[in-house]
Structure 1
Amino acid sequence: MLALVAAWLCRWLNTPIPWMIGPLMATSLVSMMGARTESWTPLRNAGQWVIGAALGLYFTPEVGALVASLWWAIALGIAWALLLGLGFGTCLARWHAGHLAGLSPSQLRSTTYFAGAIGGASEMTLIAERQGARTDLVAASHSLRVLMVTLTIPFAMQFWGLRGLDTLPPSIREVQPPGLLGLAALTLAGALLMQRLGRANPWFMGALVTTMVVTLCGFTLSAIPQAWSNAAQLVIGVSLGVRFTPAFVHTAPRWLASVALATVVMMVLCAGFAWGLSTLTGLHPATLILGTAPGGIAEMAITAKVLQLGVPVVTAFQVCRLVAVLILAEQVYRWKYVQK
């Protein structure tokens, strides 16, 4: 109920993406104050399922050809993310050498490296655990970074006066009940398959990939009802907010302060990188800022969807980066530290 009231309040205040930002802010605040909050996993999965399907509808054959022609820009975005994460981790290691009691040099390296990597919080924490890192610091770093990016960039876009760059195809606008039922069945199968294969974000990625394939083949089944999209954003906002427990507040204040500072620097650097990339691709800077921002894939894609700022390009950049970082982050760590 609190999340719903917060969403209505943000909508009344005309904030960007109110159905996610309102629940996120309200849940995180009461969680840090010690209230017992919880994100029910089936609801979070359903929210990711709906958002994944909604984003996949933007990938018409024409848009697919455009995204494919940007492969080199996406590759640059991946390289940029890896370098930025490596630099972030190096700064954390230098700032906290001697300040984190009880950590050996190898634990400090693994903790700061995976805390800096721009990937999914849960996936990076699991990989960090295998390398002996202090996982609470890694998880806190990713949670704070995503929170700051999610709360900052949408407001910056709204202040900039940007929205409506996308031309919406009929599949985005028109709800067809029989087609919606078929789309739900197909995307559910895709999500369950991804889950069975042990892939990251299976409910989001399974629905996204399935809908992309259907839409790229030229089939228009149905749009996603706006009420479903709003509800999905709400449960995703709650799932982010519950991470900020009293334990998070008491996590090494110096660590959190350094992560916050580094996140601000990264957002500025990413904005500069996106602006330069826009001159090479001819795409709007706002689209590439969202595509290269150091936030979570769902949060940046939702921002692009609600503000209509190049959803397919943003989604492609964020998805490809996520996959690449999940594959390469541990390999880069071993190359840089373990093999020496």
Structure 2
Amino acid sequence: MTNSAQPRAVSFFETLAIALAGGALFTLIQIPLPWMLGPLSFVMIWQLISKRQLYWPPFFRDLSSLVLGYMLGASITRETGWQILHHLPSMAVVTALTVFFSCTLGYWVAKGAGVGVYSGVFGNVPGGLTQMVLVSEEIEDVDATVVTFMQMIRLLGVIFIVPFLAVHGLADDLDMPLNAMLTQSLPVLPAIPWYAYPCYVLVALFGAWAGKQIKLPAAVLTGPLIFTALIVLIGLPAPQLPGGAITVAQLLIGVHIGLQMNVQSLGNIKRLTAFTVLSSVVLVLFSLLLGIVLSQLTGMGVTTGFLATAPGGIAEMGITAALVHADLSMVTAYQLFRIFFIMFAVPPLLKWWIGRGKQRSRQAA
């Protein structure tokens, strides 16, 4: 081993040990998404206090993005597809209102906390922590550290606030035992033929390559997502990833994001935290209002409408929907539509907005 390779190997194992410690601790104290948020937090803090240069192979970012893209694509079913088509107008209106309101809140947070406007907007869009950070890394004038910090605060706030409101404020049918409710809500999974496993490996790899060729945003994530979803809708069921693979993917992307964090660029961190927490609460209340209106217009339950419009993740909102006996397929369909819309429509719109702002600045000068 060469002298340059040896320190890099030592640095890699140091990073891995810190990440494992963070994941284990966050699992022990029951923090949501422990194997992403734990490594992210520990790596960021260790790098800040030790001033040591940690190393993480860039390939791991692409690998974790590919796995996440496959997971999102595999979550599509024909039933979900029909739900999306049937409710497309209401989904489009609800999603557009949510995105517009979250961007407005992000602008307010940026002005109040003294961070860049573009970073504030990206940090407040409810498109998922990992997805929005990966997209923000590809856009100039957007500080990925600010985006990561704001998305983390928003994610944690939503994960704790939304289930609490759904269970204690809206649901009126919780007399069944939880296990019975979950069993009743879970769909019957189709049998997976043996050839589906190598097929979807090739589909995900091809999707990542094709995404780069056609310049999709966060191509290694969105490419596998699109092609996996297409094959599922054609009729070949997608194998579910084992829990261990999902844990590893969370760790890989968590370390990558943690290494990108530059806490010094956050400025007044207390002020940014306060504004972000407040904006998260306001966004949840706005989604509750949307959910009530949606239930009146479509006939779905208020709890289903709230969970369908809530700015949380598919997994967290799906689990909550099962717990309170909401319509799981409807919640999944609305959440998937919002994520797809934000992944594919919002980045080009924000890039156009940033470009127009630069052009106006040049003309004014």
Identify the TM-score tier after normalising by the shorter chain: 0.7 to 0.9
What letter matches 1:275 in structure 2? Answer: L
Give the match's secondary structure for 1:15: coil
Q: 1:156 to 1:89 in 2, by over 3 A?
A: closer
Of 250, 259, 272, the residue aligned with 2:264 is 250
TM-score (norm 2): 0.71
Q: 1:8 to 1:29 in 2, by over 3 A?
A: same
Give the match's secondary structure for 2:236: coil
| Partner in structure 1 of residue 148 of structure 2 | 143
Deviation at 1:145, TM superposition (A): 0.7
Of 216, 220, 232, the residue aligned with 1:199 is 216
Question: Which is further off, 234-243 or 179-188?
Answer: 234-243
5+ residue gaps in structure 1? 101-110, 130-134, 294-299
Q: 1:10 to 1:121 in 2, by over 3 A?
A: closer
| Partner in structure 2 of residue 276 of structure 1 | 289
Give the match's secondary structure for 1:314: helix
- Whose relative contact order is higher, 1 or 2, with alpha carbons under 8 Å and at least 6 apart? 1
Aligned length: 306
Asked if 1 retains the 8 angstrom alpha-carbon contact of 2:41 and 2:258, the reply is yes
Deviation at 1:315, TM superposition (A): 2.9
Give the match's secondary structure for 2:260: coil
Residues 6-42 of structure 1: CA deviation (Å, up to 9, x unaligned): 3233334343322223222222221322343344221
Q: 1:238 to 1:124 in 2, by over 3 A?
A: closer
Of 90, 106, 113, the residue aligned with 1:88 is 106
For residues 216 and 62 of structure 1, the distance between their equivalents in structure 2, rounded to whole angstroms, comes to: 9
What letter matches 1:328 in structure 2? Answer: L
TM-score (norm 1): 0.75
| Partner in structure 1 of residue 47 of structure 2 | 31
For residues 158 and 14 of structure 1, the distance between their equivalents in structure 2, rounded to whole angstroms, comes to: 15
Q: 1:37 to 1:284 in 2, by over 3 A?
A: farther
What letter matches 1:77 in structure 2? Answer: T
Give the structure with higher Rg (CA): 2
Asked if 1:170 corresponds to 2:189, the answer is yes
5+ residue gaps in structure 2? 1-16, 126-131, 168-177, 323-327
What letter matches 1:314 in structure 2? Answer: Q
For residues 318 and 65 of structure 2, the distance between their equivalents in structure 1, rounded to whole angstroms, comes to: 14
Residues 278-308 of structure 1: CA deviation (Å, up to 9, x unaligned): 221432534432xx35xxxxxx346457777
Asked if 1 retains the 8 angstrom alpha-carbon contact of 2:110 and 2:119, the reply is no
For residues 242 and 220 of structure 1, the distance between their equivalents in structure 2, rounded to whole angstroms, comes to: 36
Deviation at 1:126, TM superposition (A): 5.2
Deviation at 1:158, TM superposition (A): 6.6
Asked if 1:314 corresponds to 2:321, the answer is no
Give the match's secondary structure for 1:200: coil
Residue identity (%): 18
For residues 277 and 320 of structure 1, the distance between their equivalents in structure 2, rounded to whole angstroms, comes to: 18
Q: 1:306 to 1:74 in 2, by over 3 A?
A: same
For residues 94 and 224 of structure 1, the distance between their equivalents in structure 2, rounded to whole angstroms, comes to: 42
| Partner in structure 2 of residue 105 of structure 1 | none
What letter matches 2:352 in structure 1? Answer: Q
Asked if 1:214 corresponds to 2:253, the answer is no
For residues 139 and 267 of structure 1, the distance between their equivalents in structure 2, rounded to whole angstroms, comes to: 19
For residues 107 and 344 of structure 2, the distance between their equivalents in structure 1, rounded to whole angstroms, comes to: 19
Residues 203-235 of structure 1: CA deviation (Å, up to 9, x unaligned): 211111112111122221422222211211111
Deviation at 1:264, TM superposition (A): 1.4
For residues 96 and 56 of structure 2, the distance between their equivalents in structure 1, rounded to whole angstroms, comes to: 31
